């Protein structure tokens, strides 16, 4: 994957995780975290770590 793909995957992960705060937190949070993990193979580490953290927080909120 190149850098542009990593940025897109990171932004999609962040969007999915934020949607998870309002609708289907477990599924959307998991999707955001997985997209962040996939994007870690590129140079866009900050975006993808943000997606992972937001996804995990959404999943935790879903369980509470």
pLDDT at 24 over 90: no
- Tell me how far apart the alpha carbons of residues 1 and 29 are, in angstroms, rounded to a whole number: 23
- Tell me how far apart the alpha carbons of residues 61 and 27 are, in angstroms, rounded to a whole number: 12
Where does the pLDDT of residue 40 fall: very low under 50, low under 70, confident under 90, or very high at 90 and above?
confident
Domain ranges of the chain: 3-63
How much is the pTM?
0.86
Q: What is the pLDDT of residue 49?
A: 92
* 13: number of Cβ within 10 Å: 27
DSSP code for 44: -
């Amino acid at each position: 994957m190149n850098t542009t793909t990593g940025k897109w995957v990171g932004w999609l992960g962040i969007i999915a995780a934020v949607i998870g705060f309002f609708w289907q937190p477990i599924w959307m949070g998991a999707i955001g975290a997985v997209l962040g993990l996939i994007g870690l193979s590129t140079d866009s580490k900050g975006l993808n770590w943000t997606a992972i953290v937001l996804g995990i927080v959404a999943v935790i909120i879903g369980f509470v």
